[in-house]
């Protein structure tokens, strides 16, 4: 039976939901190894061991180099673990290292995966979620980038308290890195979940008319993230980080609430794989209703506060 390697560039005290989903996926395989390109705190090791990971390979971090360090660490981890499949996140950074290593090792890479079976059949979204395809690698090590919210986070009860075997990663640091970080600045941290990983996303468009308050309030009532259409980000009502769509981020939450967004094809490209879509629009003919599971024809300024109030009343 195949064995799996999960790779993280870094792992904080509390592994993120997307990281726990990857560990859950790895537990499906005969052997699961985790490699991290920086130091791993003990609290994170305790969480990892609860997912049935057999071995943890750790590379001492080097703040000065960026992608070169991750590439060297992952290449060494693939060699050391002898894994058949390598599971990484679906962000740009991991897609790049997966693709570069797959070429270097004469392997295969599949992106945007939503599942990997125990016999290495990968299910992935195609054409912005209009189709789902199943694919199998025909050559070498398989690198798979897995979309967040595709796998149910499920620690392995039988692994709780299990001793994790920790080994240093036997790798050679890149001698002359192509990129050197000269400065970093931490972004202001929001209490809300990360947009690409959130289980619930509430998104607003031109229809909010400059006021994202009701969108943010409903997102907070549902412990969700806030997203936006390009019309809203271009208007400067919210940061460009929140843009969902062809030229923004792709989200695939359990619940997506679209408010005052018409549903242009470029917008749908970023959200139509959401499990349940609720659309609020005052125009009954808005294209967003074509892909919505539930539609509310009405003024978002009235609908959103009522929804938030009712949710809080039921939570109390
Ligand atoms: C190459 C390219 C890439 C693009 N990439 C993206 C992208 O990544 N993401 C993206 O979003 N767009 C993208 N766009 C733009 C896209 O085509 C649309 O113009 C954009 O999505 C429209 O945003 P919107 O739905 O908020 O605005 P509109 O299309 O103006 O729709 C506003 C909607 O709000 C409704 N409304 C108004 N007031 C209310 C109210 N009070 N209550 C309820 N409903 C109300 C209206 O009925 C309308 O349906 C791209 C375009 C191009 C050409």
pLDDT at 261 over 80: yes
pLDDT at 91 over 90: no
248 lines ligand 1 (CB under 6 A): yes
pLDDT at 191 over 90: no
Give the pLDDT score at 92: 86
Tell which residue, 245, 230, 217, 232, has the closest CA to residue 311.
217
Measured in Å, residue 272 CA sits from the centre of ligand 1 at 15
> Considering the chain, what percentage of its residues have pLDDT values greater than 90?
74
Give the pLDDT score at 64: 53
Give the pLDDT score at 161: 66
Total number of residues shown for the chain = 316
Measured in Å, residue 15 CA sits from the centre of ligand 1 at 35
205 lines ligand 1 (CB under 6 A): yes
What residue ranges do the domains of the chain occupy? 4-168, 200-315
227 lines ligand 1 (CB under 6 A): no
Give the pLDDT score at 182: 82
Confidence label for 168 from pLDDT (cuts 50, 70 and 90):
very high
pLDDT at 186 over 90: no
Give the pLDDT score at 187: 72
Over residues 22-34, the mean pLDDT reads 95
Whether 200-315 and 4-168 are alike in CATH topology: the answer is yes
- Looking at every residue in the chain, the average pLDDT score rounds to 91
Give the pLDDT score at 235: 96
Is-contact 190 60, C-beta < 8 A? no
- Ligand 1 atom closest to 229 (CA): 11
pLDDT at 44 over 90: yes
For residues 224 and 68, the model is more confident at 224
State the sign of the Cα–Cα–Cα–Cα dihedral 10, 47, 98, 33.
positive
- Ligand 1 atom closest to 262 (CA): 49
Give the pLDDT score at 183: 83
Please give the torsion angle defined by the CA atoms of residues 309, 312, 313 and 316, in that order, rounded to the nearest 10 degrees. Answer: -160
Q: CB neighbours (10 Å) of residue 133?
A: 12
Measured in Å, residue 277 CA sits from the centre of ligand 1 at 16
Could you please state the CATH topology (level 3) that the domain comprising 4-168 is classified under. Rossmann fold (3.40.50)
Q: What is the pLDDT of residues 56-74, one digit of tens each?
A: 999 876 655 578 888 889 9
For residues 163 and 276, the model is more confident at 276
Over residues 22-45, the mean pLDDT reads 94
- Ligand 1 atom closest to 283 (CA): 47
pLDDT at 22 over 70: yes
Give the pLDDT score at 171: 80
- Ligand 1 atom closest to 288 (CA): 49
Tell which residue, 52, 17, 18, has the closest CA to residue 34.
52
CATH class of 200-315: alpha beta
Give the pLDDT score at 279: 98
Hey, which of 202, 204, 231 would you mutate to test ligand 1's pocket, going by the most ligand atoms within 8 Å of its Cβ? Answer: 231
Please tell me whether 28 is known to bind a ligand: no
pLDDT at 3 over 80: yes
Q: What is the pLDDT of residues 196-221, one digit of tens each?
A: 989 999 999 999 999 999 999 999 99
231 lines ligand 1 (CB under 6 A): yes
Give the pLDDT score at 95: 94
Give the pLDDT score at 190: 78
Over residues 251-280, the mean pLDDT reads 95
226 is written with which tokens? Answer: 């806030």
């Amino acid at each position: 039976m195949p064995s799996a390697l999960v790779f993280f560039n870094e792992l904080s005290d509390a592994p993120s939901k997307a990281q726990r989903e990857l560990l859950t996926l790895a537990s499906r395989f005969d052997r699961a190894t985790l490699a991290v390109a920086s130091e791993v705190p003990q609290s994170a090791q305790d969480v990892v061991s609860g997912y049935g990971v057999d071995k943890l390979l750790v590379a001492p971090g080097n703040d000065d180099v960026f992608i070169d360090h991750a590439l060297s660490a992952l290449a060494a981890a693939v060699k050391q673990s002898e894994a058949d499949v390598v599971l990484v996140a679906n962000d740009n950074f991991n897609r790049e290292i997966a693709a570069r290593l797959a070429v270097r090792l004469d392997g295969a890479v599949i992106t945007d995966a939503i599942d990997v079976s125990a016999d290495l059949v990968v299910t992935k979204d195609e054409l912005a979620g209009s189709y789902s395809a199943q694919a199998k690698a025909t050559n070498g090590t398989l690198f798979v980038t897995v979309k967040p919210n595709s796998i149910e986070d499920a620690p392995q009860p039988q692994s709780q308290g299990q001793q994790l075997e920790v080994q240093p990663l036997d790798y050679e640091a890149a001698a002359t890195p192509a990129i050197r970080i000269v400065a970093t600045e931490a972004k202001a941290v929001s209490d809300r979940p990360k947009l690409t990983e959130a289980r619930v996303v509430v998104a607003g468009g031109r229809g909010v008319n400059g006021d994202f308050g009701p969108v943010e309030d409903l997102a907070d009532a549902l412990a969700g993230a806030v997203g936006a259409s390009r019309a809203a980000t271009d208007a400067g009502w919210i940061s460009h980080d929140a843009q969902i769509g062809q030229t923004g981020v792709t989200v695939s939450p359990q619940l997506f609430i679209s408010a005052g967004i018409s549903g242009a094809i470029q917008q749908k490209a970023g959200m139509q794989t959401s499990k349940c879509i609720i659309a609020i629009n005052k125009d009954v003919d808005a294209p967003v209703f074509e892909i919505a599971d539930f539609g509310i024809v009405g003024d978002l300024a009235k609908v959103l506060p009522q929804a938030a109030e009712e949710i809080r009343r039921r939570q109390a």
